[in-house]
Amino acid sequence: MKLNLSVEITDDVLMIRSDDFDYQIEVHDTNKIGKKAQGVNLLWQERHLVGITAAETPKLDVSFDQIMTIIGDWDFEPDYLALKLAEVAQEAGNDLVVETQKAKKLPASQSAIMAKITDQLQFILSQFGYSVAVKKAAPAKKKPAKAQHRWNKAVSDIDFFVDYAGSQATARWIKRNEMLIKKGAKMAPDAPLNKDGSLGFSARFAQKLRDEHANQFENFTTTEDIILKSVNEVGLFLYFAGANGWLILKDSNGKTIDEYTVVN
Question: Is 110's pLDDT higher than 60?
Answer: yes
Q: Tell me: the pLDDT tens digits for 60-98? A: 888 999 999 998 877 788 899 999 999 988 888 888 888
Question: Is 139's pLDDT higher than 70?
Answer: no
The pLDDT of residue 126 is 87
| Mean pLDDT, rounded, of the chain | 89
The pLDDT of residue 198 is 85
**The amino acid at 68:** M
**Residue 241: how many other CB atoms lie within 10 Å:** 23
- Decide if 170 contacts 160 (C-beta within 8 A): yes
What pTM value is reported for the model? 0.51
Band (143; pLDDT cuts 50, 70, 90): low
Q: In terms of pLDDT, which residue wins out, 172 or 53?
A: 172
- Decide if 166 contacts 186 (C-beta within 8 A): yes
Q: Where are the domains of the chain?
A: 5-126, 154-261
The pLDDT of residue 95 is 81
For residue 111, the SS3 value is helix
**Residue 139: how many other CB atoms lie within 10 Å:** 6
Q: In terms of pLDDT, which residue wins out, 138 or 134?
A: 134
Give the chain's radius of gyration (CA, Å): 30
The pLDDT of residue 216 is 97
- Decide if 25 contacts 46 (C-beta within 8 A): no
For β-strands 221-222 and 217-218, DSSP reports them as antiparallel
Q: How far apart are CA 250 and CA 162, in angstroms?
A: 7
With a CB cutoff of 8 Å and minimum separation 6, the contacts of 125 are 25, 68, 131, 132
For residue 169, the SS3 value is strand
The pLDDT of residue 261 is 96
Supply angle C-alpha 151, 154, 160, rounded to 5.
Answer: 75
Minimum mean pLDDT among 79-93, 159-173, 213-227, 247-261: which range?
Answer: 79-93
Question: Is 132's pLDDT higher than 90?
Answer: no
Alpha-carbon torsion (189, 191, 195, 198), positive or negative: negative
Looking at residue 261, the DSSP 8-state letter turns out to be H
Closest CA to 55 of 124, 108, 104, 115: 104
**The amino acid at 108:** A
Closest CA to 106 of 91, 94, 120: 91
Minimum mean pLDDT among 125-129, 166-170, 221-225: which range?
Answer: 125-129
Q: Which of 7-21, 116-130, 151-165 has the highest mean pLDDT?
A: 151-165
Q: Tell me: the pLDDT tens digits for 206-230? A: 999 999 999 999 999 999 999 999 9
Q: What is the mean pLDDT of residues 118-123?
A: 89
Minimum mean pLDDT among 60-64, 142-146, 247-251: which range?
Answer: 142-146
Q: Tell me: the pLDDT tens digits for 3-31? A: 888 888 887 788 898 877 778 899 998 88
Q: How far apart are CA 178 and CA 197, in angstroms?
A: 33
Beta strands across the sheet bearing 167-175: 160-164, 167-175, 178-181, 226-228
The pLDDT of residue 138 is 57
